[in-house]
Amino acid sequence: MFDSVIIGAGVAGCVAARDLAESGRKVLVLEQRDHIGGNCYDEKDEHGILIHKYGPHIFHTKEQKAYDYLSRFTDWYAFGHEVVANVHGKLIPVPFNLNTLHMVYEQEKADALEKKLIDAFGLESRVPILKLREHEIADYVYENIFLHYTMKQWGQTPEQIDPAVTGRVPVLISHDNRYFQEPWQGMPLHGYTLMFEKMLDHENITVEIGVDARSRVTFSEGSVSLDGQAFTGDVIYTGPLDELFDCRFGRLPYRSLRFDFEYYDKPDYQGHSVVNYTVSEDFTRITEFKYLTGQQAEGTTIVKEYPFAYTGAAGEIPYYSIANETNQKLYEQYRGLVEHIPNVWLLGRLAEYKYYNIDAMVLKALELTDKIKKDKEV
Ligand code: FAD
Ligand code: UDP
């Protein structure tokens, strides 16, 4: 009855489902949560404020293909996302840039430092903190922006984690206060959930929510079955790979988050969409949703994010894979269990154990479905 089964209805699963459905395949999507959209899911809270249940998601990309693809299913609220750090009560732009420099040093010193940085790296360049070490501002930026935030987020110092992670937020040798510099950035005008609903709204797609796929799909030596019958169509798995095999080699480590939402009966809480707490507090950041979405409302809802090590306990969600050699080896061990099943594909932040943004996920999903379509016509 189905040509393809997709496990998980996050970005990866939704894009893959739509693309395969448009090629004429009958697609079954199984999602264990009670909603689609994965971690991008948004909904109105009891006060009517559109919130992101799993933390703030801002779409940003330099890849027109990713933007064009999503634009088939949504219009956009376009804005340049800005973040400030609360450093001992003072709010300064992050990524640290030349404007930040002038806020934290007195004028003469800031002018001299600015010149040195431009001479060393060039105007408009992006310098990862770990490459800035010999420069005078490095100690300030490291101590006040990266060290404590990274300790909270990862339980490790910036040197101990994959350099690509802190490299996501380089020091900007420019006066650009935006968090992202890519040409396309903003929010789906009526939210992510509606965008994904439109994507899945296709005659060839059947979506079942509240279903743990492990109760329907079994993976064994070289083959896969659906509801007890051998299944030879393509299966795309977007969940955590270790949990598919009862963590038989041990758990793949992830960081998780607790989200504490608070509503205030006043129009403004912090005047910014995101404030990072880089030297104090147990939470990493506070997001005030109305500044992300542009929603006009009398009250306001915020969320605080408290990171912790994922244990697999009921209700916990694995959000961030932890890239290092040991974890990659363990991941490869699990990958070995599906590698020999020719119709099973791993896709997504969890199944590939990679730190993907939304745009990269869209492109990865389309790359995979192109391959599947090329290999087998229906
Ligand atoms: P997910 O969204 O995790 O979807 C996987 C789905 O599979 C889930 O719905 C899960 O329930 C389901 N599933 C798993 N196992 C099973 C099973 N056994 N049976 C059935 N279903 C199953 N990216 C950006 O571009 N911009 C941002 O601002 C941004 N902010 C982020 C903030 C946070 C706090 C986090 C954690 C991530 C952020 N991201 C951001 C990244 C973005 O969330 C990911 O790129 C995207 O969600 C990845 O999609 P996915 O489909 O791979 O994974
Ligand atoms: N980071 C930091 N201080 C900040 C912002 C980021 O130390 O004010 C570091 C931290 O290690 C974080 C990483 O840079 O995990 C990547 O930040 P990003 O905002 O991309 O994280 P995400 O939004 O994916 O959680």
Closest ligand 1 atom to residue 214 Cα is: 18
The pLDDT-based confidence of 110 (bands split at 50, 70, 90) is: very high
CA of 52 to the centre of ligand 1 (A): 12
Predicted confidence (pLDDT) per residue in 328-343, tens digit: 999 999 999 999 899 9
Ligand nearest the Cα of residue 10 is: 1
The pLDDT-based confidence of 377 (bands split at 50, 70, 90) is: confident
CA-closest residue to ligand 2 atom 6: 169
Closest ligand 2 atom to residue 149 Cα is: 7
Ligand nearest the Cα of residue 154 is: 2
Ligand nearest the Cα of residue 171 is: 2
CA distances (Å), origin 53, targets 20, 66, 255, 267: 28, 23, 17, 21
Closest ligand 2 atom to residue 158 Cα is: 11
Substitution site in 14, 28, 215, 358 for ligand 1 pocket (most atoms within 8 Å of beta carbon): 358
Rounded CA-CA distance 58/77 in Å is 11
CA of 350 to the centre of ligand 1 (A): 8
CA-closest residue to ligand 1 atom 48: 349
The pLDDT-based confidence of 344 (bands split at 50, 70, 90) is: very high
> Percent of the chain at pLDDT above 70?
100
CA of 94 to the centre of ligand 2 (A): 10
Ligand nearest the Cα of residue 322 is: 2
Predicted confidence (pLDDT) per residue in 16-38, tens digit: 999 999 999 999 999 999 999 99
pLDDT of residue 190: 97
The pLDDT-based confidence of 279 (bands split at 50, 70, 90) is: very high
Rounded CA-CA distance 139/142 in Å is 5
Closest ligand 1 atom to residue 57 Cα is: 28
Rounded CA-CA distance 95/194 in Å is 31
pLDDT of residue 256: 98
Helices (H) and strands (E) in the chain, counts: 12, 22
Predicted confidence (pLDDT) per residue in 42-101, tens digit: 999 999 999 999 999 999 999 999 999 999 999 999 999 999 999 999 999 999 999 999
| Binding-site residues, ligand 1, Cβ < 6 A | 7-13, 30-33, 38-40, 54-59, 212-214, 238-239, 257, 319, 348-350, 356-359, 361
Average pLDDT (117-127) is 96
Q: Are 374 and 20 in contact (CB under 8 A)?
A: no
Predicted confidence (pLDDT) per residue in 134-185, tens digit: 888 999 999 999 999 999 999 999 999 999 999 999 999 999 999 999 999 9
CA of 75 to the centre of ligand 1 (A): 21
CA of 231 to the centre of ligand 1 (A): 26
pTM of this prediction?
0.98
CA-closest residue to ligand 2 atom 7: 146
Chain-wide mean pLDDT for the chain? 97
pLDDT of residue 22: 98
Using DSSP's 3-state secondary structure scheme, residue 35 falls into coil
CA of 348 to the centre of ligand 1 (A): 8
CA of 165 to the centre of ligand 2 (A): 7
Ligand nearest the Cα of residue 208 is: 1
Q: Is the pLDDT of residue 133 over 90?
A: no
pLDDT of residue 378: 77
Closest ligand 2 atom to residue 148 Cα is: 7
Predicted confidence (pLDDT) per residue in 246-264, tens digit: 999 999 999 999 999 999 9
pLDDT of residue 220: 86
pLDDT of residue 356: 97
| Binding-site residues, ligand 2, Cβ < 6 A | 85, 94, 145-146, 149-150, 153, 165-166, 168-169, 276, 278
Substitution site in 18, 39, 152 for ligand 1 pocket (most atoms within 8 Å of beta carbon): 39
Alpha helix (H) residue ranges in the chain: 11-22, 64-71, 98-104, 107-121, 138-141, 148-154, 163-166, 192-200, 241-244, 289-293, 325-339, 358-375
Residue 338: partners with Cβ closer than 8 Å, 6 or more residues away: 219, 237, 241, 244, 344, 346
